[in-house]
């Protein structure tokens, strides 16, 4: 569970294990996160169960979407005064390259935060940040 205590601990220590352990879907796809100063880099290590296209093989596009969507939610919880999993309103995803069976990374940027809604941009890449595999944009509802 993402309690304020766990969020505070994660924020102070940079150790995401407790936070991620409280989100079953994060464990399901194998999402991890590292903190560098104030910056967060989300990681998705290769995992056979995440594959879609068996010929390439490539990560299932839906998993890449889920990885980016969850990264954006965790990013909001860590950078804003959001004390629990924010509710997603919409999610728009552009696939740019096949996500091969190797580690993927994602970073998020808060484009705009209003009182009730936040707009987050997410970029995902594998070997080089300059060759993104997908970009996404999401709106989250911060109130009930």
Q: Which residues bind another protein (CB under 8 A)?
A: 1-2, 22-25, 27-29, 48-55, 60-63, 65-67, 69-70, 73, 84-85, 87-95, 98
- Shortest distance (Å) from residue 22 CB to another protein: 6
Of the two residues 36 and 120, which places its CB atom closer to another protein in the complex? Answer: 120
Nearer residue to another protein within complex by CB, 1 or 36 = 1
Cα distance from N-terminal residue to C-terminal residue, the chain: 18
Q: State in angstroms the smallest separation of the CB of 37 from another protein.
A: 27
- Min CB(85)–another protein separation in Å: 4
Residue nearer to another protein on the CB measure, 40 or 74:
74
**Rounded CA separation 3/136 (Å):** 27
3-state DSSP percent of the chain in helix, strand and coil, to 5 = 30, 35, 35
Q: How far is the CB of 126 from another protein (least distance, A)?
A: 16
102 token code pair: 């190797």
Strand-pairing partners, residue 42, are: 33, 106
Q: Closer CB to another protein, residue 36 or residue 137?
A: 137
Strand 132-141 and strand 39-44: the pairing is: unpaired
β-pairing, 32-36 with 132-141?
unpaired
């Amino acid at each position: 569970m993402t309690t304020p205590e766990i969020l505070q601990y994660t924020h102070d220590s940079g150790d995401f294990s407790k936070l991620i352990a409280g989100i079953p879907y994060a464990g399901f796809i194998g999402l991890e996160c590292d903190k560098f100063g104030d910056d967060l880099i989300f990681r998705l290590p290769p995992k056979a169960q995440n594959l879609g296209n068996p010929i390439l093989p490539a990560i299932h596009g839906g998993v890449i979407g889920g990885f980016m969507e969850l990264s954006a939610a965790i990013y909001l919880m860590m950078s804003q005064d959001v004390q629990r999993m924010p509710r997603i309103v919409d999610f728009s995803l552009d696939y740019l390259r096949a996500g091969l069976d190797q580690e993927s990374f994602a970073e998020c940027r808060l484009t705009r935060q209003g009182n009730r809604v936040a707009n987050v941009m997410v970029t995902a890449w594998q070997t080089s940040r300059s060759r993104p595999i997908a970009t996404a944009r999401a709106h989250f509802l911060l109130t009930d």
